[in-house]
Structure 1
Amino acid sequence: MTAPTPASPRAAATRLVPVGPARKRLSVAFLLADRFTLSAFANFVDVLRLAADEADRSRPIMCEWTVLSADMSPVRSSCGVKVAPDRRLRNAARYDYVVVVGGLMGEARALDPAVLAYLRDCAARGVPIAGLCTGVFLLHEAGLLDGYRACVSWFHHQDFLDRFEGATPVSDQIFVVDRDRLTCSGGHSAAHLAAFLVERHVGQSAATKSLNIMIIDSPLSADKPQPGAPGTPGARDPLVRRALLRMQQRMDTPDSVAALAAALKVSRRQLERRFREDLGTTPQRAGLRLRLDRACALLTETDRTVTQVAMATGFCDAPHLIRSFKGDLGLTPAEYRARHVAHRCAPGVSSASGALAAPLPPPTPTSAGR
């Protein structure tokens, strides 16, 4: 039997040279704001965790994730749970993405100056930056969204407009990818944005597996309408839901149907056909219904005058609102308000909460205004 040929000293030396850990396919750093939204962070990082290994063994083989901090102090979430950072900013490595998770509106502290400096340095080096939930507010305040489209939750749409004059946030889809900026509305949307990145860097099967283990059917594309906004019951068509969300967001200055169709990048004819097929009504009628529903809420939940309610819901003036109210509901706004006040004062209504003992059905709509 022939003895094996001994390896050359050079080959042996090559084998003995220690090899450093291979760079992961997807590397993400997190920056957590004070009172950050735990669900957005957890959904995003769990997709990475599940995509990184077989099943749910959680070994960072394909993906890695790190929580960065200026001072290594634990960061409290909006529910009080604290997360301990992994690494100081000055020891930050090279990452494929830096993700900012926002916190409670009006209660959280601003980002540390060192964090802002780090983010601006990342932006200057071309590192893609993502904002989850209200993280989009922090990125905009830092000047990192100038010239970019940004996704904001429908729930915080008006807050964003109030804070950033001239801004045009996207609130009718779950996330937005605009060049090297990624923003999402929070909640499960964070999982879908993470799945988008996993599919891009690791593969589609890894993204789907992660979501399936999390009991989420399959990855959703960025333009999927945001779920959960009030005033869209029964709407199943994604285009119709996006249109209704836009109507809600622009209630004080409603679009014409032509402008609405243009904003949604469809023809007016297509938009009207999709409304008929999905809701059995027209965009004009659906928009009027949303505005009247909002007017009803303002009349019963606030002490605003009829003129103020008219201005807030896109009617020209008080007479315009009165005509629309009578035509659709058979009552004037004053009569509608008086009816609800009388019902709240009736016996059997809880005085502690002011809630109705039984829901008061709205007046039956008339055929007028259809």
Structure 2
Amino acid sequence: MRHTVKTPKPLAKQGANELVGLLDASKERPPLNPSGVELRIGILLWPRFPLLSLAGLCDALRHAADIGDQSRQVRCTWTVLGVPDQPIQASCGVEIPVQQSLSSQHQFDYVAVIGGLLPFMDKVDRRYTSFLQEVAAAGTPLVGICTGSFALAQAGLLQGKVACVHPFHVNDWKKMFPTQAFATNADYLFDGDRITCAGGISIIELATELIRRHCGPDRAAKVVHQMTVSQRSSTHVTRRHALGYASTENDKLRQAIMLMEKNITTPLEIAVIARLVETSSRQLERVFMAETGASPSEFYRNSRLKYGRWLLTTSDSPVSAIAYECGFADASHFIRHFQQLYGVAPGRLRRAVLAA
């Protein structure tokens, strides 16, 4: 089945409040689990954890959970677990209170571990590790965020799995877990019932993917829109907003599309993308044709042109600058391909949008 992309109207034509309203009004909603909540996440915090990881995860969930900016835990729930009356201190010094005690009777779709500074990894209460082992034995998927992957590995819960490790911690990982497989070429990795994330703003990408899977593309699109810091910044989150949120169950295809989105200005060769997602160019070609109806090269070029169209309608950058940002050698190549895809020259499209 081909993947679908939901692309909101350009913001030049549509107010931000209107867009959020349309996404909130979407009727697309997966079947509810018995609790009536679509996505339930329990959160374990290791000592000196990064506050950004907790904030990114919770903020993404709150945008998906309710309409507008009401932030009620309606469609998603998130709970900080731990030992009562023992708050956890973040690396910045802020203390976070525990909301619920550790109990295997809690029902969660995922239990997420946000790791802390490595010198403090062993200072966690032993009950945290025991709890992780209990919920893993019960079949609950585990998420390791930032050095949370280290916490899972220390607990023996990543055996036979590949962990996503931040490049800064690669040497630490090799020293502590010399036989444990890892990767650094992605923001996050799904490996069966183990999910790992490099940390930083990558948590927003992971949270959005979990929301898409459990709550639907409309909720994911709302998160991407609401958490875009600047529409003019060339970040991966911004590009997701510009290109629409691609929904696919094929991991290789998803990883390849993510690499394309991250490398718009300086496009990668398809052979390089295939190698990074650990497949062959021929197999990647078959997957793209089956799922999207286009070759990887065509899909990549069309994505760059789509990003260019978004820039045309949401910025006042000259066409030559947009061509460069979209990975074209010069404006003439960009204009020719743009006209072939959209049937109108970039300058004429911009004038039409401004006149509307």
* TM-score bracket for the superposition, by shorter chain length: 0.5 to 0.7
Could you tell me whether the CA contact under 8 Å between 1:52 and 1:64 is conserved in 2?
A: yes
- Given the two structures, how large is their TM-score scaled by the length of structure 2? 0.59
Q: CA separation of 1:137/1:240 partners in 2, compared to 1, >3 Å: closer, same or farther? A: farther
Identify the residue that residue 80 of structure 1 maps to in structure 2.
Answer: 93
Identity, % of aligned positions: 34
Whole-Å separation in 2 of the counterparts to 1:53 and 1:263: 35
Identify the residue that residue 206 of structure 1 maps to in structure 2.
Answer: 219
- Given the two structures, how large is their TM-score scaled by the length of structure 1? 0.56
Q: CA separation of 1:195/1:238 partners in 2, compared to 1, >3 Å: closer, same or farther? A: farther
1:191-340 alignment, distance < 5 Å: 191-215=204-228, 216-217=237-238, 218=240, 221-222=254-255, 224-225=258-259, 235-237=266-268, 261=275, 264-267=278-281
Identify the residue that residue 29 of structure 1 maps to in structure 2.
Answer: 42
Aligned residues: 234
Identify the residue that residue 93 of structure 1 maps to in structure 2.
Answer: 106
Amino acid at match of 1:139: L
Whole-Å separation in 1 of the counterparts to 2:273 and 2:153: 24
Q: CA separation of 1:116/1:266 partners in 2, compared to 1, >3 Å: closer, same or farther? A: same
1:151 equivalent among 141, 164, 182? 164
Could you tell me whether the CA contact under 8 Å between 1:195 and 1:211 is conserved in 2?
A: yes
Could you tell me whether the CA contact under 8 Å between 1:174 and 1:184 is conserved in 2?
A: yes
Q: CA separation of 1:129/1:262 partners in 2, compared to 1, >3 Å: closer, same or farther? A: closer
Q: Which runs of 5+ in 2 are unaligned?
A: 1-33, 229-236, 247-253, 285-296, 298-356
Could you tell me whether the CA contact under 8 Å between 2:49 and 2:116 is conserved in 1?
A: yes
Q: Establish whether residue 120 from structure 1 lines up as the match of residue 151 from structure 2.
A: no
Q: Secondary structure at the match of 2:164?
A: coil
| Larger relative helix fraction | 2
Q: CA separation of 1:158/1:116 partners in 2, compared to 1, >3 Å: closer, same or farther? A: same
2:119 equivalent among 101, 106, 119? 106
Q: CA separation of 1:110/1:236 partners in 2, compared to 1, >3 Å: closer, same or farther? A: farther
Q: CA separation of 1:263/1:99 partners in 2, compared to 1, >3 Å: closer, same or farther? A: closer
Q: CA separation of 1:88/1:237 partners in 2, compared to 1, >3 Å: closer, same or farther? A: same
Q: CA separation of 1:23/1:141 partners in 2, compared to 1, >3 Å: closer, same or farther? A: same
Q: Establish whether residue 47 from structure 1 lines up as the match of residue 78 from structure 2.
A: no
Could you tell me whether the CA contact under 8 Å between 1:72 and 1:86 is conserved in 2?
A: no
Q: Deviation per CA, 1:131-152: give whole Å up to 9, x if none.
A: 0011000100100000111111
Whole-Å separation in 1 of the counterparts to 2:202 and 2:186: 9
1:118, CA displacement in angstroms?
0.8
2:83 equivalent among 46, 70, 89? 70
Greater length-normalized contact order (CA 8 Å, ≥ 6 residues apart): 2
Q: CA separation of 1:212/1:240 partners in 2, compared to 1, >3 Å: closer, same or farther? A: farther
